[in-house]
Amino acid sequence: MKFKVNSYHFKLLRDYERLSAFKEAIDDYAESCEGNKSPDGEMVAFDLGCGSGVLSYFACPHMDKVIAIELNNSSYQLAKENLKEFDKIQVFNDDILSFDFSKLNEKADLIICEMLDTALIDEEEVPVLNHAKKYLKEDGKIIPEGILNSAEAVFMNNHFIQYEDDEYSPVYIALGDSMIYSEFDFLDDIDCNFSAMVDLKIFDKKELNEIGFEEEISKERYEKFSFKDNFNIKENKLKINGIKLTSFTKLNENLICGPTPMLNPSMLVPIEEIEVSCGDSVRIKLEYVMGGGVETIKTEVLDIIHN
């Protein structure tokens, strides 16, 4: 099937890894439901933030009814046009957070909601699901099921929030391993006001040698920004000025998808610049409002834990 899309949704459709992950999750759900239909005999899916309608299209063969909701009017018009041949799909132009689900007189067996972004900060996945899952059947499922967020210490050239995607490659170097700092199951009620103490371990000298750190920072992309001036490996000194946040989308129990060009590209967040020793750990307070936007991000360096 050919979809009518704008430039943004064209990029979404070209992200085949993202699309195939969601299609696989929807197909897996349908397979798990075979021979185990809803007691009322009708299988219903909600596609929240449906965009151009591609996920509703994937769900349609497996469901008796699909309710697709999209706030953006131009995206709604695309979805309405793309899905007009499918009697089982109803498309609404509405804000999900104020949508009156009770008027549908039915609850969902499945909620599909791809209002995702890195660490759930900018898009409204969490507030939308907190509202909509009241209309999910008791044994209902959500795709994706949840998300895992990780952080690692970095030194970066620009001291502002940057995404790492197929259009923009920020210049930075990782100074420690990535660690999981939060995990969420979307069936749970989630507090949008997130706060955590994150301990980030800095590479020791042996680890720096193993990754060829000194050779790496001698490359042209780092020389241009004088990265070498911020590191003195002989004296065991490094500087960090940012953290890299990476999200992993849990589509179902068996399927986890890392960043793709249009799904949760990693985010670089500036912190107070500090000098550390190789092998140290840095304790950072990380706060933000999920669905509140990147302007809600706050960081504070609390402690340097010496090796």
CATH class of segment(s) 7-114: alpha beta
Tens of pLDDT along 75-100?
Answer: 999 999 999 999 999 999 999 999 99
Coil/strand/helix, residue 86 = coil
Are 304 and 223 in contact by the 8 Å Cβ rule? The answer is no
CA distances (Å), 10 to each of 14, 15, 77, 92, 188, in order? 6, 9, 15, 21, 33
3-state secondary structure of 139: strand
Number of helices and strands in the chain (H, E) = 8, 15
What pLDDT shows up at residue 168? 82
Write down the pLDDT at residue 35: 67
pLDDT given for residue 185 in this prediction? 98
CB proximity list for 46: less than 8 A, separation 6 or greater: 66, 67, 68, 69, 108, 110, 111, 112, 113, 132, 135
- Looking at residue 167, what is its pLDDT? 78
- 3-class SS at 211? coil
Please tell me what DSSP assigns to residue 62.
G
Query: First-to-last CA distance in the chain?
Result: 58
- pLDDT reading at 203 higher than 70: yes
Which alpha helices (DSSP H) does 15-53 contain, by range?
Answer: 16-33
CB-based burial, 74-110: b 16+ in 10 Å, e otherwise: ebbbbbbebbeebebbebbeeebeebebeebeebbbb
- Full DSSP string of 263-293: B--EEEEEEEEEEEETT-EEEEEEEEETTT-
Token pair of 97 as six digits:
């957070």
Helices 16-33 & 7-14, crossing angle to 10 degrees?
Answer: 70
Every domain of the chain and the residues it spans: 7-114, 147-305
Task: Compute φ and ψ for 206, nearest 5 degrees.
Answer: -60, -45
Helix (H) or strand (E) holding 249: strand 237-252
- Round to whole Å and give the CA distance between 184 and 249: 10
- For 225, other C-beta atoms within 10 Å of its C-beta total 16
Whole-angstrom CA distances from 116 to 169, 205, 259, 263 are: 21, 37, 11, 7
Choose the CATH number for 147-305 among 2.70.160.11, 3.40.309.10, 3.90.1150.10, 2.40.440.10: 2.70.160.11
With cut-offs at 50, 70 and 90, classify the pLDDT of residue 38.
low
**β-bridge mates for residue 146, sequence order:** 185, 250
The mean pLDDT value for 11-31 works out to 96
pLDDT over threshold 80, residue 37: no
What single letter denotes the amino acid at residue 268? L
**Mean pLDDT across the chain:** 95
